[in-house]
Chain A
């Protein structure tokens, strides 16, 4: 046996490739090897890693075969291999590293042990980090703290090896095993190295950061920082001052597109539709402030929105009664009349509506009028007249507001309307506040008292709007009404909201919602609003 092993060892040491190959074959036949035999063989095999292979392509495959043979000896040879590793040249280091890493968890402790002893030997550490990069088992994380320290070393080969090892581990090990602190550390250390003076270090850092990103280990802010860095490296930031090393630019260029796919810029267009405040105005009627910055920026008096409160809902059109462009808020009044409005009014501060589209419809008819303008609101329409009243007043017209309700408790948005008008008149059917009667009684009085009434806007229940129009028609006062026809899309593509205006079919959502009240076919509007009465009842029963 001894003899056979000696022969093999001699064969391995031979200058002749054929003899080496034969010896390698023979190792495979051996069995019953003692630990000493294994170590002796391993050290002879390891010599093959150092052989010069330039111009001898055969040597490369012989070295690879030697590596394979060593791995067969198991963990007894680990101490020997690590010993070799610490002083190995670059080529052999790879072979040795792989041969060690095959042993998995068994090899970690001895490696760390040597690391401790060789702490001041940077050459040894360079090789140790390289070996660590070959592991595929979670236990290698025990060595990560050392790798992180090494990554910050002044020795550029050590730090580039360490950063590279970090990147390899990120790819080879389940990303979930890296906790938040570790992720942060890996990012910070690598990121700092993007400005290293050595291009090799910058390249490894750019690559490892890319891998961290690819494996989903970066936060959005980290990604943004990385994107900026990559853009600077590649000169994409418009500075024309790119990294002078191709290898660094190349890494950045490969990873940059992946970063671009993360939805950073769309968040800019995402609105939460969160309810910021909710206030009861009267039973079943609430005032809401909703977060919708993009819509707030564009709203104009008279426009409306469509809300789909949740996934199963229908689309509910609502007038706007106010907005704050700076804060990004919109305000609506919702009155419960059926299933969906009831569901909406069950939502509270902090809840989010699923979808809101808008602004929809055209701006109200506003310009400067010589005579008085009267804005009339009933029900939820009381909120809707406020923005138009404000605009009319801003253009220098005298504006009188009129609100009507059945009784005092149902009068809503009075103070808000007062702020927007020169004067506000209240009417109640039961006389509990203001003029007893209907809004038309107030309008008649205004027409009598004012020098001249030039413009009337009425928003509310259809009978109210119709009555106002009948009053103003014979005396020829321009009267606009906002039509709350049934709607689906609100953009003019379905025709659900169509209504005869002066005998011509118009779409309330697209051509309106405001129309010349004297031309509206109110009878048709009333009847069309009743199209789904049976279904609405059925829906309500499911609540």
Chain B
């Protein structure tokens, strides 16, 4: 199969390639998938993957590579897939990104590599994300992943705070440079938002577990239940524990709340609480798992970002009549296009231009209704953005559970417990952009901790920058 297709494809001209049809990844049918937590996109078959790979015209100056925050050699790995050389395709991706299975699934490709893909100018862009996922899944399923060679130990020790994508990436990058790396994680398991935020139906749990196992195999050490700032301070790590540098990747864990009546009602959750109860603590399997989740029949989700989509779709899977409330219109929804599309197939209700002003509660403080003001969009202002404006018209709907998905501010634990770490007025840890060095000597930071809630791949990109700087720093 592989040789034949390789021959065939070398004969393809760009014109022929452009004429090939887009391989849309199959999804579980909406009726079925809203009843379980199975992964929604089914994944390419071998034939589909090769057919999609053939659509790539192998640009000499590929824009997609510049569009990828970590600069994966996209045409090269796609060529390898086209030639049926899946293991090498995965290896190629891994040169730049060691979480390909996760990134293939959760990266906003529509705003990155695929947005600038030349094929996309005339037709659907090459589905880079799905191909990335295919190569990574092949590697995992066929066990073709080889452990990288670790150079002789440098004798330098680096502490990583937080086991989310940023922490994991930095751990990997420093380990393969021969340093000793210890990751301190506050929770009882690693993965950060990948485990306690992003739902299983988008990112199955075993994928992250594999990635963690991989890191353990190359000698990265993990310690759980360790809240840095509390059990050990940054100074403890640098002085008493003998670490040569610290990388802070504690994420954006502080949920934004609304300041409206009823926000502290029973049944009103932050998305963090809601998703953590379900995905980290497995409240969906209550009472086998003891963590409870109170969820009524009508769930209102406030916001329209990725997190909101995740909450909406989770609530639906747990059997609720679920509605999205957002103060702007659909066009401004910050969610990934694909996520929004998938959510829209799942029998949800949408209230665009609806701004919650009150959560109406009963005498026991349980939320019963949500009151919204209707909004309209202004003309674009000087910054070119259309602002939502109040209309003075209100409406009220039943809701016995509300989930606030308004994004997160930076986790304040580290700056709050170490005066040497300076933040800006939004609580974001200040770093030097070139090196990710914080205002404290020997301490670097990356990921959501230095940007506020962003994306997995950006967090990874910063972690790589930081790893280079840390490597330089500890070598003196």
Contact = CB atoms under 8 A, between A and B. Distances in A.
Pair from one complex: yes
Interface of A: 234, 236, 253-254, 256-257, 260-261, 263, 265-266, 269-271, 294-295, 298, 308, 312-315, 339-340, 354-360, 488-489, 491-496, 498-500, 505, 510, 524, 527-528, 530-532, 534-536, 538-539, 541-542
Contact of A265 (B150, B221, B222, B225): B221
B292 A532 contact: yes
Interface in B207-264: 218-219, 221-227, 230-232, 253-255, 257, 259, 263-264
B273 interface: yes
12 contacts: A236-B153, A260-B153, A261-B218, A313-B289, A339-B287, A357-B225, A492-B254, A492-B413, A500-B264, A527-B365, A532-B292, A539-B287
B476 interface: no
Contacts of B253: 491-493
A535 B286 CA distance: 9
B289 A532 contact: no
A253 B411 CA distance: 41
A505 B264 contact: yes
A314 B188 CA distance: 12
A359 B253 CA distance: 18
Contact of A308 (B150, B178, B188, B227): B188
A346 to B, nearest CB: 14
SS class, residues of chain B in contact with chain A:
loop
Contacts of A313: 289-291
Contacts of A505: 257, 259, 263-264
A499 B276 contact: no
Interface stretch (B109-117, B179-187, B431-439): B179-187
Contact of B231 (A253, A358, A531, A532): A358
A263 B289 CA distance: 31
B67 interface: no
Interface string B258-297: 0100011011011011001100011000111111111000
Residue among A261, A360, A528, A532 having the largest count of chain B Cβ atoms under 10 Å: A261
A360 B186 CA distance: 11
Contacts of B257: 495, 498, 505
A254 B149 CA distance: 11
Given A489-B276, A491-B227, A493-B255, A314 B292 contact: yes
Contacts of A260: 153, 180, 219
A340 B225 contact: no
Contact of B266 (A270, A312, A531): A531
Nearest to A238: B155
A354 B253 CA distance: 24
Nearest to B281: A314
A116 to B, nearest CB: 44
B198 to A, nearest CB: 15
Contact of A495 (B178, B224, B273, B282): B273
B299 to A, nearest CB: 15
A160 to B, nearest CB: 24
Contact of B294 (A254, A308, A359, A531): A531
B290 A494 contact: no
Given A294-B231, A500-B264, A531-B294, A257 B151 contact: yes
B182 A265 contact: yes
Interface string B343-360: 000000000000000000
B281 A315 contact: yes
The 10 lowest CB-CB distance pairs between A and B, nearest first, are A261-B219, A535-B292, A493-B253, A527-B365, A494-B273, A314-B291, A495-B270, A269-B223, A531-B266, A532-B292
A269 B255 CA distance: 30
Given A496-B269, A499-B264, A530-B364, 15 more contacts: A295-B231, A339-B290, A357-B227, A358-B227, A359-B230, A488-B277, A488-B291, A489-B187, A495-B269, A524-B264, A527-B266, A531-B266, A538-B287, A539-B286, A539-B290
A208 B150 CA distance: 20
A257 B289 contact: no
A539 B273 contact: no
A85 to B, nearest CB: 38
Contacts of B282: 312
Contact of B273 (A254, A488, A524, A530): A488
A266 B241 CA distance: 11
Nearest to A360: B230
A238 to B, nearest CB: 9
A314 B280 CA distance: 10
Nearest to A356: B225
Contact of B152 (A257, A308, A498): A257
Contacts of B254: 492-493
Interface string B23-57: 00000000000000000000000000000000000
B153 A535 contact: no
B269 to A, nearest CB: 8
B150 A498 contact: no
A528 B227 CA distance: 26
B93 to A, nearest CB: 24
A531 B267 contact: yes
B291 A495 contact: no
B412 interface: yes
B286 A493 contact: no
Contacts of A531: 266-267, 294
Interface in B358-377: 364-365
B398 to A, nearest CB: 19
Contacts of B290: 312-314, 339-340, 539
Given A260-B180, A491-B227, A266 B221 contact: yes
Contacts of A527: 266, 364-365
Nearest to A269: B223
A495 B219 contact: no
A310 B183 CA distance: 23
A491 B287 CA distance: 25
Interface string B115-126: 000000000000
Nearest to B404: A495
A356 B186 CA distance: 10
A314 B277 CA distance: 9
B294 A257 contact: no
A263 B221 contact: yes
Contacts of B224: 355
Nearest to A236: B155
Contacts of B219: 257, 260-261
Contacts of B286: 535, 538-539
A358 B232 CA distance: 10
Nearest to A354: B188
Given A308-B188, A314-B292, A492-B254, A542 B287 contact: yes
A352 B267 CA distance: 34
Nearest to B223: A269
Contacts of B412: 492, 510
A503 to B, nearest CB: 10
Contacts of B264: 498-500, 505, 524, 528
Contacts of A356: 225
B232 A294 contact: yes
Residue among A314, A499, A505, A534 having the largest count of chain B Cβ atoms under 10 Å: A314
A528 B365 contact: yes
Contact of A359 (B231, B287, B413): B231
B153 A494 contact: no
B416 to A, nearest CB: 8
Given A489-B276, A496-B273, A270 B153 contact: no
A5 to B, nearest CB: 50
Contacts of A357: 186, 225-227, 231
